[in-house]
């Protein structure tokens, strides 16, 4: 019998629908247990990750009912500690080798989680693919989220060839790896030694010769990088990045673009902090996704004045 379920989905104009659906499948993001459908000239494709859109899907086309999970490379992370469900997912998804359950929230300076292996191989390491790039991820050793993959593409397409980029909180390097091919130089910094170890591996894996990894506290970057100036600065440390704006100001070239990721509870929450560091900057705030009933993940695109 056909039932209805609410499901996260991506809405794609019909003429690009098939291409978009294939891309989501190739990236391991599509939920293939539900059938996409057309509504108002758009194809609604069910996906495994949370997005800004939920729609009602019919279970008529369901291949197998699987517990809610997110897939990152060969690892699936379940929302419930459900061993039978984990085994079912691994059986249904040949590309997955391990099923995990997070036993902590994202925590500590390194922003990592702890996990319990529910099924499959006893590992938290995997190879992750994003838009033709490969990255080694270890979910307990260093922060990683696939949720910003669209954001990385947005920044890549807004970039000019040959920019000098600084990623102050680079983790295992998703921004440097995606942007490196178009940049002249990427300086990628993180305070977590395991993240920088994986970052180095990911730089080599993607044959990037212009990405320089640094292990350090971003507070020390202005002193460490001395007179270097950057055309674009990525600041993805959602609970605290705004505290590093003064340092970013010392490293920004005239007309630079800064992308500050933050968890906020009201629009314009960081405008004052930003204008203190970058007077006359043009600020555009974008909603990325809900975080809790009262807060959301936002990105502030800051265009630094040419008159600095």
Ligand X SMILES: C[S@@+](CC[C@H](N)C(=O)[O-])C[C@H]1O[C@@H](n2cnc3c(N)ncnc32)[C@H](O)[C@@H]1O
Residues that bind ligand X (CB under 6 A): 109-111, 142-145, 148, 169-171, 174-175, 189-192, 195, 217-219, 236-238
Classify strands 37-39 and 42-46 as parallel, antiparallel or unpaired.
antiparallel
Q: Closest distance between ligand X and the C-beta of residue 83, in Å?
A: 29
In this structure, are residues 304 and 255 in contact, taking their beta carbons and an 8 Å threshold? yes
State the residue for tokens 């091919």.
Answer: 181
Q: Closest distance between ligand X and the C-beta of residue 263, in Å?
A: 10
Looking at the DSSP assignment, which residues form a beta bridge with residue 6? 56
Nearer of residues 148 and 208 to ligand X, judged by Cβ: 148
DSSP summary character for residue 166:
E
What H or E segment, with its residue span, contains residue 7?
strand 4-13
Rounded Cα distance, 262 and 249, in Å: 17
Q: Closest distance between ligand X and the C-beta of residue 110, in Å?
A: 4
Q: Closest distance between ligand X and the C-beta of residue 196, in Å?
A: 9
Nearer of residues 175 and 230 to ligand X, judged by Cβ: 175
Q: Closest distance between ligand X and the C-beta of residue 25, in Å?
A: 23
Nearer of residues 212 and 308 to ligand X, judged by Cβ: 212
In this structure, are residues 70 and 57 in contact, taking their beta carbons and an 8 Å threshold? no
Q: Name the residue whose CB lies closest to ligand X.
A: 171
Nearer of residues 34 and 198 to ligand X, judged by Cβ: 198
Nearer of residues 195 and 252 to ligand X, judged by Cβ: 195
Nearer of residues 57 and 169 to ligand X, judged by Cβ: 169
Q: Where are the alpha helices (DSSP H) in the chain?
A: 17-26, 83-92, 149-158, 174-179, 193-205, 221-224, 245-251, 271-277
- Following DSSP, what letter does each residue of 35-76 receive, concatenated? --EEETTEEEEEBSS--S-EEEEEGGG-S-----EEEETTEE
Q: Closest distance between ligand X and the C-beta of residue 19, in Å?
A: 26
């Amino acid at each position: 019998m056909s039932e209805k379920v609410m499901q996260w989905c991506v809405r794609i104009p019909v003429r690009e629908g098939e291409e978009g659906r294939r891309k989501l499948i190739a990236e391991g993001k599509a939920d293939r247990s539900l059938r996409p459908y057309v509504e108002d000239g758009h194809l609604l494709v069910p996906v495994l990750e949370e997005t800004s859109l939920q729609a009602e899907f019919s279970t008529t086309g369901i291949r197998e009912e699987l517990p809610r999970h997110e897939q990152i490379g060969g690892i699936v992370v379940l929302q419930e500690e459900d061993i039978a469900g984990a085994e079912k997912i691994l059986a249904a998804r040949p590309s997955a080798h391990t099923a995990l359950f997070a036993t902590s929230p994202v925590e500590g300076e390194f922003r990592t989680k702890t996990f319990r292996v529910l099924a499959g191989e006893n590992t938290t390491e995997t190879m992750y693919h994003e838009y033709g790039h490969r990255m080694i991820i270890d979910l307990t050793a260093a922060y990683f989220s696939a949720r910003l993959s669209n954001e990385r593409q947005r920044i890549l397409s807004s970039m000019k060839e040959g920019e000098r980029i600084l990623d102050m909180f680079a983790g295992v390097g998703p921004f440097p790896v995606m942007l490196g091919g178009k940049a002249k130089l990427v300086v990628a910094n993180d305070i977590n030694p395991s993240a920088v170890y994986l970052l180095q591996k990911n730089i080599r894996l993607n044959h990037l010769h212009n990405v320089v990894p640094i292990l350090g506290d971003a507070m020390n970057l202005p002193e460490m990088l001395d007179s270097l100036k950057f055309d674009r600065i990525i600041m993805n440390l959602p609970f605290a990045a705004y505290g590093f704006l003064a340092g970013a100001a010392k490293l920004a070239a005239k007309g630079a673009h800064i992308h500050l990721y933050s968890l906020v509870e009201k629009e314009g929450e960081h405008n004052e902090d930003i204008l203190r560091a970058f007077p006359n900057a043009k600020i555009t705030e974008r909603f990325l996704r809900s975080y809790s009933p009262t807060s959301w993940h936002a990105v502030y695109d800051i265009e630094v004045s040419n008159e600095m």
